[in-house]
Structure 1
Amino acid sequence: MDCRIASLRQAYGEGQLTPRQVVESLHQQTGHYTDYNLFIHVLTDEELAPYLNRLEESEPNSLPLWGIPFMIKDNIDLAGIPTTAACEEFAYVPEHSATVVQLLIDAGAIPLAKTNMDQFATGLVGTRSPYGVCHNAFDFNMISGGSSSGSAASLALNLCSFSLGTDTAGSGRVPAAFNNLIGLKPSKGLLSTSGVVPAVRSQDVVSIFALNAQDAYKVFDVAAQPDDTDEFSRDEMALTPPAWAAKPVIGIPDAAGLIFYDDHEAQANFEATVTQLKSQGFDIKEIDFTLWLETAKLLYGGAWVAERYAAIEAFFEAHETQLDPTVGGIIAGARNLSAADAYKGSYALQQAQRDTRAVWQDINCFMTPTTPTIFSTEQIEQDPVGLNSVLGTYTNFMNLLDYAAVAMPTGLRNDSLPTGVTFFAPAGSDRALLKLTDALHNQFNKTAGAKALPIPAPKAELFDTPHTISLAVVGAHLVGFPLNGQLIERGATLLQTTKTAPKYRFYQLAGGPILKPGLVKTNTDGASIEVEVWSMPKQHLGTFLALIPSPLGLGKVELIDGSQVVGFICEPYGIEGATDITHTGGWRNWMKQNAL
């Protein structure tokens, strides 16, 4: 069964599957992976019944995530199900779901299980759990990455459509890289952490694992809502990241900042990725990466460890000897930290934030390896702290410096293990990063996860930011035509040239002096018409609309891939005296014919 969101929605819409059939099939598949230690609690039929019954009382696909199954990291609350944070003695049963979980359920998603994790989200390895080592979906002897280990591996094994993790130091990106997944680490505060067991409260985010960027975007679009119950919540509309070029300028670490610990496979993959991007015309700039590498050391080498202690202080003092030894040792280190240490760390971070700010004048986003290398479970057992630190080389600084980030797979190494890169940019860049990832993903990888699920063709118009809207134009606003400047002067950028669904008739309207087309939807004899899709800042849409003369206006235009965008449409009365030019397939072709 194909668990990608678009595939399930199509199957539901065509009556080929029901949510109950999907859940039953996935439960059967789950039983094949008991030795992977993916789960802490799998919901029973009785526990699933309210979610399935609710969906069966509504129309298929009537909600954005109708019938879409997902997994939840076990430091995120699901009402009526124990939350353990991978520590049985800590377990409690919440009355209410975490805000982000409730938003997803309200949108029609079905929670299937609470997943295994590094205890108290302290680790990037997936081995620090009394519920067992969580194994890599590609190689049982390799680590899955952590701390969101079960969430990533279960998705990679096609046991759900997406999953939730948390990400403080890389827990939503490292497991994505090791299991051939997209890992979105949202900007801090965009996904509520109300109902999440804190790790480092000021730096925690809820992360999203997905099989492709389009699925990640659909989940993010539902879940990224302000929350009055979370003092760290931020409204996405309040974030104004720097504007991107139509083809973003990408920064990469200079040679001294690229660290692979003698993993030649990882190094070769990253170098090949850079070469391919350059061949596609991307401007790649090498940046001295010292500041970022030094900032990464603050998260565990500075006073932020004290937040891990503060989150569970009373429990820790009563149960320290019952914790995973490595986790307990890390948290116990906070006892030696003082308020003065906290202030020193704060000053150091303030300096780092100021010193790294200037780079965004020269680049739109950064690209780094997601991790320098990967380790076996046996290697981690021999050096659990040192090797864990290696994995955080390119992840630990992200939340401290207030970035959004997306981990993207870039193929399999020669040893058949996944690897990948991470794109990051200032807070609020989430949608732009997902859009870039969507444009690139299937150029580096043809399948997602460990079960060879195809990666869809890019769909640029899907990734509107809260500040922009996709706009389809068909005539004088096309590139090279008289009114294109009306788009350019409003900051619009071209997303793609495509066609409408084959449901339209196309006309040259009567009058002038500037010739104008009319696009009219029809139930019979429709054709596909060429359009350009532009990204328009929403604040300029009103002034643009005021320039459009009757009988033209803006409405919904269906594209050939089935998606809908705002676009030029013509009132039916407007085609009186017009010339039917549908046969030409578009305005550009028609104007060429007229010029002959």
Structure 2
Amino acid sequence: MNSLPKLPGIAALQALYRQGSLTPLQMMRELLARIAAYPDPAVWISRFDDGALLETAGRLGETPDPARPLWGIPFAVKDNIDVAGLPTTAACPAYAYQPAEDAQVVARLRAAGALVIGKTNLDQFATGLNGTRSPYGAPRCVYNGDYISGGSSSGSAVAVAAGLVSFALGTDTAGSGRVPAGINNLVGLKPTRGWLSNRGLLPACRSLDCISVFALDVDDAECVALQAAGFDAQDIYSRPAPTLPLRLRGFRFGIPKDPPWYGDALAEAAFAQSCEQLRGLGAELVSVDFTPLFDTAALLYHGPWVAERSAAAGEFLRTHAQDMDPTVRGIVEQGLRYSAVDAFEGEYRRRELQQRADAIMASVDALLVPTAPSVYTVAQMQADPVELNSRLGLYTNFVNLLDWSALALPAAFRSDGLPSGITLIAPAWQDRALADFGRRWLKREILPAAQPKPASSLRVAVVGAHLRGMPLNRELTELGASFVEATHTSTAYRLYALRNTTPPKPGLARSGEGAAIEVELWDLPMENVGRFLAGVHAPLGIGSLELADGRWVKGFICEPQAIAEASDITHYGGWRAYRAAPPS
């Protein structure tokens, strides 16, 4: 009889189940012995009774159920996600409550046949990226117990990396589903916001939170995400995934220009090694100025989004401040200083940065970053808990604020034996495209050569809400359109702000006297032109536009009767400049 693999990945367990070499009951007996022997007691906050787990595993029987894709697969749940039968503590004993039902994602995974083992440790109230802010102890990196595990999903990452479960759920607001993956040599899938329901999650920042997945490989992480995902009408931030499968256009990755390493030469060398490996596989790496991204990240802990943490834990703060971790309490208290005016001004600043960030993203196929710029010992972190924690989030804090997807991947080991990780970042709903690349990376496969642009594409000029960073740009990207260039019309056009359009839209009209108006050119696959045109509604239409260099392309035009009621904004030179101008 085969015994439980040292690292029980989903595929490995399923193969043993199909062969009849292992049953869920046998797996559970060995797993519980392994958990009992593991030397780091800080991994778990609570677990189901051994007898109950054996009984649950035994009820599955010995024959795999093909209708349940996760049949007999053990997993752990971060203790800010509800599991019926176990308390939810958020690593704060005085806060603990007994949930009446599973969180939606847990319920979906159980329905797929997965077995919940227990609840894992975390930075209290999911506030931190290091894993030391918990009264239940500080889980340690599985490769060197002197070092932090990363957080806030500390116990979940260690449980998977130590072979105590096949996968685990974490959460990710500022990087908590990615930093622990990098430090423990795991895959960390940070999904597009709203793809997985947050119902039953104790929020940190409710508008930004994502439930994440830790796994040993990309196939496992994607399998779990697909089983856990689904639109949930009872979660106000849930949203349905697009039906059109998305893929990376190519393998041109933007890497940080002059990245700070805080003196960690080993981390710098490991990332350089990973970059060289990627180039050897056929990826193109280009230096990108990350300043707009870092400026966005600053809003998370030095802007009004801190108040979301106060909204989540504020009542408890008022009545039980003494029961909170001092560092966590200090962060949550900061949120009480912000006003409604601060919140609006913060959102205006975020939108400004979003446009600049989306322009960066449009220039490459994805961003490639070190998952964290360094790693610290537990002693170092406890001596300087705020500054070192902040450094860990350098490449993670901005992602959810910009509504992007991310996948953390194992990469070259440092020369001191510690793991390092890389993370791919892409626009929303590129989760499966990132997974496809992640599989190639872990197998070190040669990347397919960039394909020449097919002749069967239509070049379209967009002038308003379809520009990069504008609300309808996704209608192009979801249909596989690729950005070509920013340019201008000839001087024969006038631009108008149309009335009663949602989102706000301009109208472009050819005139005897006008000005050069900013446009963007996009190449739209011919097979998707019909779908795009179906979304163009009166008074707008698609006609022929003359560009400043004399070329003619298809582009947005407007019916005359709508222009008669609109405001002439030609003097702004383009929709983007008009929208950025202060109200008159």
Residue 440 of structure 2 corresponds to 439
Is contact 2:28-2:54 (8 Å) kept?
no
Residue 331 of structure 1 corresponds to 332
The structural deviation recorded for 1:403 is 0.6
Counterpart check, 1:428 vs 2:429: yes
Is contact 2:405-2:431 (8 Å) kept?
yes
Counterpart check, 1:112 vs 2:117: yes
Counterpart check, 1:253 vs 2:256: yes
SS in 1 for 2:168: strand
Supply the distance in 2 between the matched residues of 1:88 and 1:14 (Cα, whole angstroms). 44
State the AA in 1 paired with 2:248.
W
Supply the distance in 2 between the matched residues of 1:440 and 1:383 (Cα, whole angstroms). 35
Is contact 2:44-2:121 (8 Å) kept?
yes
Alignment of 1:282-301 (within 5 A): 282-301=283-302
Is contact 2:281-2:447 (8 Å) kept?
no
Alignment of 1:148-547 (within 5 A): 148-237=153-242, 244-245=248-249, 247-255=250-258, 258-443=259-444
1:535-576 Cα offsets, whole Å, 9 max, x none, are xx9x88xxxxxxxxxxxxxxxxxxxxxxxxxxxxxxxxxxxx
SS in 2 for 1:112: strand
After TM superposition, the score normalised by the length of structure 2 is 0.75
Supply the distance in 2 between the matched residues of 1:110 and 1:220 (Cα, whole angstroms). 16
1:204-240 Cα offsets, whole Å, 9 max, x none, are 0000001000111111111111111100001112688
Supply the distance in 1 between the matched residues of 2:415 and 2:23 (Cα, whole angstroms). 40
Is contact 2:410-2:420 (8 Å) kept?
yes
Deviates more, 1:58-67 or 1:408-417: 58-67
- Structure 1 counterpart of 2:15, from 10, 13, 18: 10
Residue 43 of structure 1 corresponds to 48
Supply the distance in 1 between the matched residues of 2:119 and 2:27 (Cα, whole angstroms). 18
The structural deviation recorded for 1:334 is 1.3
The structural deviation recorded for 1:148 is 0.2
The structural deviation recorded for 1:57 is 8.2
1:444-468 Cα offsets, whole Å, 9 max, x none, are xxxxxxxxxxxxx8999xxxxxxxx
The structural deviation recorded for 1:321 is 0.8
Equivalenced residue count is 459
SS in 1 for 2:411: strand
Structure 2 residues without counterparts, runs of 5 or longer? 459-478, 481-524, 529-584
Is contact 1:40-1:116 (8 Å) kept?
yes
1:73-132 Cα offsets, whole Å, 9 max, x none, are 000001111110001111111111000011000000000110011000000011000001
Structure 1 residues without counterparts, runs of 5 or longer? 444-456, 461-478, 480-484, 493-536, 541-596
Residue 29 of structure 1 corresponds to 34
State the AA in 2 paired with 1:336.
R
Change (3 A) 1:63 1:74: same
After TM superposition, the score normalised by the length of structure 1 is 0.73
SS in 2 for 1:236: coil
SS in 2 for 1:93: coil
1:387-434 Cα offsets, whole Å, 9 max, x none, are 100101101001000010011111211100000111000000000001
State the AA in 2 paired with 1:248.
F
SS in 1 for 2:40: helix
- Structure 1 counterpart of 2:133, from 122, 128, 136: 128
SS in 1 for 2:212: strand
The structural deviation recorded for 1:338 is 1.3
The structural deviation recorded for 1:283 is 1.8
Is contact 1:64-1:107 (8 Å) kept?
yes
Change (3 A) 1:413 1:59: closer
Is contact 2:43-2:155 (8 Å) kept?
yes
State the AA in 2 paired with 1:340.
V
State the AA in 2 paired with 1:74.
D
Is contact 1:36-1:135 (8 Å) kept?
no
Is contact 1:177-1:370 (8 Å) kept?
yes
State the AA in 2 paired with 1:175.
P
Percent of matched pairs sharing the same residue? 44
